[in-house]
């Protein structure tokens, strides 16, 4: 198994030191596996996709606009 050295902010280091019972390398390993799994899923989806980057950006803009509209309407109903 390879070793990796991480730089963490001093505040995080302080918290980690106050909990020596935690296996921080295992926490980091699990978080990296989770992130890597998401990346592999994204790679698999995009590998099969016929959308261009321009198409994907347009879909994203439309989804964001629709979500913003939905939540704006919800907030308006709550304030009535």
Rounded mean pLDDT of 46-68? 92
Domain boundaries, the chain: 8-49, 52-80
Q: What's the pTM value of the predicted model, to 2 decimals? A: 0.60
pLDDT > 70 fraction of the chain, expressed in percent and rounded: 100
* Predicted pLDDT at 49: 84
Under the banding of pLDDT at 50, 70 and 90, the label for residue 53 is confident
| pLDDT, tens only, 12-35 | 999 999 999 999 999 999 999 999
pLDDT > 90 fraction of the chain, expressed in percent and rounded: 78
Distance in Å from the first CA to the final CA of the chain? 59
Q: What angle do CA 24, 25, 27 make, to 5 degrees?
A: 60
Handedness of CA 18, 20, 23, 25 (dihedral sign): positive
């Amino acid at each position: 198994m390879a070793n990796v050295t991480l730089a963490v902010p001093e505040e995080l280091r302080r918290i980690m030191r106050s909990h020596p019972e935690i296996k921080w390398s295992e926490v980091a390993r699990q978080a990296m596996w989770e992130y890597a799994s998401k990346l592999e899923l994204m790679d698999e989806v995009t590998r099969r996709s016929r959308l261009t980057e321009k198409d994907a950006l347009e879909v994203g803009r439309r989804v964001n606009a629709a979500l913003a509209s939905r939540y704006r309407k919800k907030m308006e109903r709550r304030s009535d």
